[in-house]
Amino acid sequence: MANLKEIRNRISSVSSTMQITSAMKMVSAAKLKKAQDAITAMRPYAEKLTELLQNVSSTLDSDAGGEFTSQREVNKVLIVAITSNRGLCGAFNTNVVKQVKVVAEAYAGKQVDVFAIGKKGGDVLRKTINVLGYNNTVYDDLTFDSVASIADDLAQKFTSGEYDKIEIVYNQFKNAATQIVQSEQFLPLAPIKSDVPVSAGDYIFEPSKEEIVLTLIPKALKTQLYKSIRDSFAAEHGARMTAMHKATDNATELRNQLKLTYNKARQAAITNEILEIVGGAEALKG
């Protein structure tokens, strides 16, 4: 059994750790509320934009999307891995890394590159996969404009023929305790079909339907990427809050066990001292 000084030092160390994890939990909880409100408010807009694009394009030819719907033989694939810049959030980043590897294995024999949004994912993936580039600053000022420039760069890589397919892997926010890893095709756009036929006389289009679709597609791509990063941002704080909550609970349990051990060791030491005193007294009497 460790001596009393060692146990006291461990109790002090665990208590300090518990204070840190508790503080991190409260900080993440505060940030989560803002991030959750942002993604919750954005989802209806993103869904309505997709619905509008489907309605307008439902009566067009399959090639109405122009270069954004170009279906080419897939030889070069770019995977956009969205992770966080910081750790201490459980399996949040690990799950994305695992899914990126699964997607990469599906294109065995092809050229597969990764564009990492978030430091943690890029640091791990570059050991096994060619990481084309990083963007670790987007979370410093997470706005639509800052994400739109990334979406434009990705779209340019596809339309120029540098890559034949682009996929996004990220954590979708469900609640503070649940994050769902998603893999979405970013480009080319899948053929848009509607189960409900739309006749040509339902709407009056100005300008033409083709021009409207070609205007909506870049906006829809930017919105899709922005929603994915917003989802990941909210999921990160939820994962960190949950991880720090569990760490605080574990630290509390460990501290209580150490206190019990300390009290037992202290009682044993006192008992030994009493026995030595009694033994000495009996020896003097004899």
Q: Which fold is adopted by the domain 4-21+244-276?
A: Helix Hairpins (1.10.287)
Is 89 in contact with 120 (CB distance < 8 Å)? Answer: no
Model's pTM, two decimal places? 0.85
- 236-250 burial by CB neighbour count: b if 16+ within 10 A, else e? bbbbbbbbbbebbee
- Alpha-helix runs per DSSP H in the chain: 4-57, 92-106, 119-125, 144-159, 209-285
190 carries an active-site annotation: no
Q: Classify residue 3 by burial, with Cβ atoms within 10 Å: 0-12, 13-18, 19+.
A: exposed
Q: What are the sequence ranges of the domains in the chain?
A: 4-21+244-276, 31-193+200-243
Catalytic option among 18, 89, 239, 243: 89
Q: How far apart are CA 139 and CA 118, in angstroms?
A: 8
| CATH class (in words) of the domain with range 31-193+200-243 | alpha beta
Ordered per-residue pLDDT tens for the chain, 286 residues: 568 889 999 999 999 999 999 999 999 999 999 999 999 999 899 888 877 776 676 656 655 556 787 888 999 999 999 999 999 999 999 999 999 999 999 999 999 999 999 999 999 999 999 999 999 999 998 999 999 999 999 999 999 999 999 999 999 999 988 999 999 999 988 755 555 554 444 667 778 777 888 888 899 999 999 999 999 999 999 999 999 999 999 999 999 999 999 999 899 889 988 988 888 888 888 6
Q: Give the angle subtended at the CA of 107 by the CAs of 106 and 113, to the nearest 5°.
A: 120
Which amino acid is located at 117 in the chain?
I
